């Protein structure tokens, strides 16, 4: 690494940590001082999503800012940990560095790989060996801090690794159709608890379809959300151009504007 870049990174990270220490200090910000590991969980998820949104929009300036906001959450958690004596940012960095070296033996050791696909295979083999050494249930490897959508994807991946998986995509689709029928039945019976359960089963089966085709359902859903936002903004802009109020528009009128937005 270029020495000037290295010095810049070290300086800025050091200053960032110092700012966090001030914010958490006796004369710091009351809100920042009140936070603990667990109160910041939603912030971490929100900032991660905003990074992905900036990527989807191909907005480099926004990406730079959102990566900073996500980094803040790492610094924040590390500072809390340092204050109570659990660990510090140095420990976080060291553990990550050691993991990267351990999982890249083709770079840092004598293992040979031919292409990126083999790298991923080797990465998963090392991860699996690390997990097996813990001697726990495979389900305990599930990251509970993820969204339910991502947990669904991961739990299905874990099951698939040991052969508990469909071997034909048509069976996956049949399962979705089965769950849809069961959801309809619960809907018509007006049983809220049963409907909640069946909607969960339906969502789980749709996630499985995405996983089967190697599509991340979280990213897929995010793209749909961004598309909806863009089209809805178009509707609002058209109404504003006509000096109207969206609340005064009928569903039919809004549908016509929506159809126009879809063509853009």
User: How would DSSP label each residue in 3-58?
Assistant: HHHHHHHHHHHHHHHHHHHHHHSTTS-HHHHH--TGGGHHHHHHHHHHHHHHHHTT
Answer whether residue 120 is part of any domain: no
3-class secondary-structure state, position 239: helix
Condensed to tens digits (0 to 9), the pLDDT of residues 163-196 reads 999 999 999 999 999 999 999 999 999 889 999 9
* 202 lies in the same domain as 254: no
pLDDT band at 161 (very low <50, low <70, confident <90, very high): confident
Q: At what angle do helices 217-241 and 41-56 cross, to 10 degrees?
A: 70
pLDDT at 147 over 80: yes
Per-residue tokens: 20: 């966090």
- Mean pLDDT across 93-118: 82
- Whether the pLDDT of residue 123 is over 80: the answer is no
DSSP class per residue in 70-132: HHHHHHHHHHHHHHHTS--HHHHHHHHHHHHHHT-HHHHSS---SSHHHHHHHHHHHHHHHHH
35 has pLDDT over 80: yes
Are both 91 and 8 inside the same structural domain? yes
Number of compact structural domains in the chain: 3
Same domain for 247 and 180, yes or no, is no
Who has greater pLDDT, 23 or 121?
23
The domain that contains 55 carries what CATH number? 1.10.287.1080
What are 208-254's pLDDT values in tens digits? 999 999 999 999 998 999 999 999 999 999 999 999 999 999 999 99
Provide the residue range defining the domain that includes 227: 219-262
Whether residue 146 lies inside any domain: the answer is yes
Provide the pLDDT confidence category of residue 110 given band limits of 50, 70 and 90: confident
Same domain, 80 and 92: yes
Q: What is the pLDDT of residues 130-146, one digit of tens each?
A: 666 655 677 776 677 68
């Amino acid at each position: 690494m270029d020495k000037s870049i290295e010095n810049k990174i070290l300086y800025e990270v050091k200053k960032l940590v110092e700012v966090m220490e001030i914010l958490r200090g006796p004369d710091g910000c009351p809100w920042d001082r009140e936070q603990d590991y667990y109160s910041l969980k939603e912030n971490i998820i929100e900032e991660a999503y905003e990074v992905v949104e900036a990527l989807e929009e191909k907005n480099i300036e926004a990406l730079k800012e959102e990566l900073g906001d996500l980094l803040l959450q790492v610094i924040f958690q590390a500072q809390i940990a340092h204050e109570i004596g659990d660990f510090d940012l140095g420990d976080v960095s060291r553990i990550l560095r050691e993991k990267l070296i351990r999982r890249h033996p083709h770079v840092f050791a004598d293992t040979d790989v031919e292409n990126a696909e083999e790298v991923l295979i080797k990465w998963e083999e090392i991860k699996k060996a690390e997990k097996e050494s813990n001697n726990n249930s495979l389900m305990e490897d599930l990251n509970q801090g993820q969204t339910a959508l991502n947990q669904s994807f991961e739990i299905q991946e874990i099951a698939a690794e040991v052969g508990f998986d469909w071997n034909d995509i048509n069976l996956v689709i049949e399962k979705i159709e089965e769950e849809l029928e069961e959801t309809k039945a619960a809907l018509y019976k007006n049983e809220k608890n049963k409907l909640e359960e069946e909607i969960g089963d339906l969502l789980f089966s749709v996630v499985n379809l995405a996983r089967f085709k190697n599509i991340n359902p979280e990213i897929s859903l995010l793209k749909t959300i961004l598309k909806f936002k863009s089209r809805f903004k178009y509707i609002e802009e058209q109404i504003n151009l006509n000096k109207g109020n969206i609340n005064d528009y009928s569903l039919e009128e809004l549908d016509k504007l929506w159809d126009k937005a879809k063509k853009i």
